[in-house]
Amino acid sequence: MDPKLIAIVQRVKSCSVSIENKIQSTINHGMLVFLGIEVGDSIDAIKYITDKIIKLRIFDDNQNKMNLSIGDVGGSIMVVSQFTLCGDTKKGNRPSYMNAMPPKDSKPLYDSFMEYIKSCYSQVESGIFQADMNISLINDGPVTLIVRSKN
């Protein structure tokens, strides 16, 4: 298996994360990033995927072409950890999470991701690692992309 940090990126008009019926964080216009960390992922993968997310040109310019990045539009980024992205559904009907990095190992990598993305872009919010979260969003477009780190 080739580990590849996984991000599902959605362009949103707004997004909020609630934990135990209390809003943890919220953003307006920007992107929601669900992040899955697999066994073998590394700091290099974090840097690669962060750079990719920040430079993604998924926002409309004045000619309605997706030609602008998050920074170009002054948007915000919401990051939510989601180990289920690492689920393998090839066999049977119950996903296997053998590729997901165990929490004790993925938490430091997630923290490094949050630290790094915040050092590269100032408007970043997040959920809480391993919390049972409710995500509310208004998808804009809809625009949804799967971003994987390189091999």
| Residue type at position 147 | V
DSSP string of 54-82, one letter each residue: HH---EE-TTS-EEE-HHHHT-EEEEEE-
CA 38 to each of CA 30, 42, 43, 49, 105: distance values in angstroms, whole numbers, following the listed order = 26, 9, 12, 13, 10
Q: Which of 50, 83, 129, 144 is catalytic?
A: 83
Q: Which of 10, 34, 59, 82 is catalytic?
A: 82
83 touches 59 (CB < 8 A): no
**Residue 144 bears catalytic tag:** no
- Would residue 130 show up in a list of annotated catalytic residues for this protein? no
Tell me if residue 59 is catalytic. no
Indicate which residues carry an active-site annotation. Answer: 82-84
